Amino acid sequence: MKLDVAGIRRQFPILSAVIDGQPVHYLDNGASAQTPDAVLDAVRTYETTGRANVLRGVHRLAERATEAYEKAREEVAAFLGVMPMEVVFTGGCTAAINLVAYSHGSLLKSGDRIILSELEHHSNIVPWQLLRARSGIEIDVIPVTLDGRIDLEILPRLLTARTRLISLAHVSNVTGALLDVRAVVAAAKTVGARVMLDGAQYAPHGPVDVPGLGVDFYVFAGHKAYGPNGIGVLWARPELLEAMPPFHGGGSMIGRVTFAETTWAPPPRRFEAGTPPIGPAIGLGAACAWMRRLDWPGVHAHEMALVQRLMDGLQEIDGTHILGPASLQNRYPVVSFMLDGVHPHDVAQTLDSFGVAVRAGHHCAQPLMDRFDLDGTTRVSMAPYNDNSDIDALLTGVKHAARTLR
């Protein structure tokens, strides 16, 4: 049965809006996806019928809020295929990576090594550099191939007996390249290293079989996965969470506090100090439930058809170059391109005049831009609600930029 894209679009109020006289062709999903009615309704219900703090209160609103908050954890766990108590709510994907870098990182010693790649988002680079400054760990970097993939043939040469962690993007936020996770996990096991995946660009495209991946840490962001801002997720193996000290101190993450000493609550509470982002967490739970109801084989086929339509159209425009895989194999619906003689920001502003929203610049991936000697790219990132009209509007805008800006 054909995917009902129109039915999906109707669930996103902003997609039927007219902004400054223009229809909305939203193709900046890699930065933030739009939010469906199911998520808006869940947050509205909490804010209007159950707003209270969680865990501490005994009145009915507090109990209602706590029940909704923990139900959200269950929904996220179901989306990842894991147990609820293995799910830690954070302030975002960046916060989740920082938690691992600080807390798990505190267990590492000077001379221990972490492996990253050239195509990582800054959020998966800077926290490890901060750890290096604190503790003296070393960072090794896997290069990127000409088609924008992590060069896993180099990985075995970087592994040593001191390699403790490999932290990589599940899907590149610039090239759309899908990581061969199985190969990374197999390589890591040869030296007993842990593996963490940045799932920010993967999670919005369907439920994640975390146990099947065989990794040790997994993180993703709510706002890229059709949920609210200010919420993210860390999943880690239970034994790793148990071994990790807290990242933040405060209420809710303690067992007993005296001036002599404090004991910690078990995970995930240990890592959720203070009042958590309750409404955003409830919204993310609703987003995960919404995503689980979609026909993902149909969605993936639809998204890849859009990618092919986009790449075919770009290749017909003189002076355009795509950064990343040239085929649909092992790639996700993120496409970055350059237009000869035109700065990416100018391309994006031209597209905006056609009602098309894209991202332009270095995409928080400056080492990758340095690898290809680029100032930046124009990035198109798609979601289940995008359709041919969005791609065609973009191509019309790029053709206009090619005619008028060179």
What positions carry a catalytic annotation?
364
d(C-alpha 386, C-alpha 324), whole Å? 21
Closest CA to 195 of 283, 279, 117: 117
d(C-alpha 143, C-alpha 150), whole Å? 6
Q: 152-178 in b/e burial notation, b at 16+ Cβ within 10 A?
A: bebbeeebeeebbbbbbbbbbbbbbbb
Check if the beta carbon of residue 285 is closer than 8 Å to that of residue 73: yes
Q: Which residue has the tokens 């990253």?
A: 116
Q: What are the tokens at 207?
A: 């439920």
Angle, CA 312 vertex, CA 306 and CA 316 arms, to 5°: 140
d(C-alpha 351, C-alpha 77), whole Å? 38
**Chain-centre distance for alpha carbon 19:** 27
Question: How many C-beta neighbours within 10 Å does residue 141 have?
Answer: 15
Total residues found in the chain within this entry: 406
Q: Give the three-class secondary structure for 100.
A: helix
Closest CA to 208 of 124, 282, 288: 288
d(C-alpha 54, C-alpha 57), whole Å? 7
Strand ranges for 55-94 from DSSP E: 87-90
Q: Give the three-class secondary structure for 338.
A: strand
